[in-house]
Amino acid sequence: MSSPTPHRFDHPVWDLRDVIGWVLDRDPAQFGRIHSTEDAKSAINVALFYTSHLRPERDPNALTTLLHELQLGRLIVHEGKAALPREHWGALTELDLRSAISRGLWFWSEDVLRLWPVEAAPVKAVASGISNRKGGQNRVPNWTIWKHIPDVKAFEAVALSLNIDPKKLGHNPRSWMAGKRLFEEGEEFQERLFAVDRNLKTIGIRNFAGVRYFDEDPMIRLRAFAVWAVSIGWSLPSELVELGNGASGAPSSAEAAETEEKSSEPAGAKPEPPLRISETSRPGAKGIGRSGRKKGSGSIDDTEALQLMLHLLASGQANSVHDAARKVPDSIMGSSQSQAADISRLRRKFANDHGTEPPTGKTWADVAGELNAN
């Protein structure tokens, strides 16, 4: 965020960036702190979503407030020597208004101050911390269910670590403005979510390709999360503590079923490569940069590419196995003799693992869902 330039408060002409900042802060000392579109985005997001501490902003919905005044014709904005009519703003959104900062639009400051005069900015008190109760609602999770869920989304794991049912988290309705999932929860939840996000490499991501290419929520092993959370000393519900401390003991029911399924394979059968990305195949992991030959195996490790192919088919972004192989980026397609040879290799491996068509009565989404459930 740029530094304020309060000396410009007395100027007769204000830029759009100045007006957005004034409607947001209503504080002459903070005047001029917004210098760009990115500054405006950051300032609005902070005011809207970081509410666990006392906030000085006067109107976190400054973009909406300003846009409505323009649409009502109660405030006139100028571009060059021309005044823009209210019709100009009729079909535009808050994001359009924010983007218009780069156009050099300007206002008479007296017109702005007539609508939003100088006044003391009331401070909104927001209770900090996290609670199992919100709006009178009991949010304790049903542990008889959750402790048997092998894979969870990262934010679900954080909620469970605070003994909150993930289905009862407070979601911020303005997440679309930030372009990501945001929550109306206390500081402890936000800090734990930040810590998990920065330690996903350690905990392990189950859907790496989906996160990397399609902005999916990271999926992690609940047991792996519990082990990590116990190791760093977090205060946890007893159910997660038992799960973390018991990592070397008996497996969970889901893991036991997976082990039993593997043990039922014929002796000497060649194991199928897992479709999920192991920790060593993440970018930056020791010894791994991109898809390549497994050390000492003589074959190319296409684990990530095969997972991405299944995701493309399951999400309808590819209409055939061949089409999915063609859409695998070069950055993760192991080098071979040619692009055609790479595509042929991926088609062959995928067909060996899953066939060229989903089982009768099922879709590729069903196949992907079954794999993720294991």
**Any idea which residue has 């038992």 for tokens?**
242
- State how far the alpha carbon of 128 is from the alpha carbons of 162, 288, 339, in Å: 14, 42, 55
Q: CA 345, 348, 351 angle in degrees (round to 5)?
A: 145
Any idea what DSSP says for residue 217?
Answer: P
Is the model's pLDDT at 141 over the cut of 60?
Answer: yes
Q: Where are the alpha helices (DSSP H) in the chain?
A: 16-25, 37-49, 62-72, 94-99, 109-115, 143-146, 154-161, 175-178, 187-198, 200-203, 208-214, 222-231, 238-245, 253-263, 303-314, 321-326, 339-354, 364-373
188-226 per-position pLDDT tens digit? 888 899 999 899 888 988 887 777 777 788 899 999 999
pLDDT recorded at residue 43: 84
Domain boundaries, the chain: 6-115, 133-252, 272-278+288-373
Distance CA 239, CA 368 (A): 29
264-289 per-position pLDDT tens digit? 444 444 444 433 333 333 344 333 34
Contact 96, 2 (CB under 8 A): no
pLDDT recorded at residue 93: 92
Question: At a CB cut-off of 8 Å and minimum separation 6, what does 59 contact?
Answer: 23, 24, 26, 65
Q: Measuring CA to CA, which residue among 240, 65, 89 is closest to residue 159?
A: 240
Distance CA 191, CA 174 (A): 20
Length of the chain counted residue by residue: 374
Q: Which amino acid would we find at residue 180?
A: K
150-177 per-position pLDDT tens digit? 999 999 999 999 999 999 888 776 655 5
Distance CA 180, CA 48 (A): 13
Distance CA 318, CA 323 (A): 6
Radius of gyration of the chain (CA): 27
Q: CA 88, 93, 98 angle in degrees (round to 5)?
A: 95
Contact 43, 132 (CB under 8 A): no
Is the model's pLDDT at 105 over the cut of 90?
Answer: yes
Q: Are strands 106-108 and 133-134 parallel, antiparallel or unpaired?
A: unpaired
The H or E element that residue 108 is part of is strand 106-108
The answer to pTM > 0.75 is no
Q: CA 374, 279, 187 angle in degrees (round to 5)?
A: 90
- Say what percent of the chain tops pLDDT 70: 73
* Number of alpha carbons in the 13 Å side-chain half-sphere of residue 368: 18
Distance CA 54, CA 38 (A): 23
pLDDT recorded at residue 58: 83
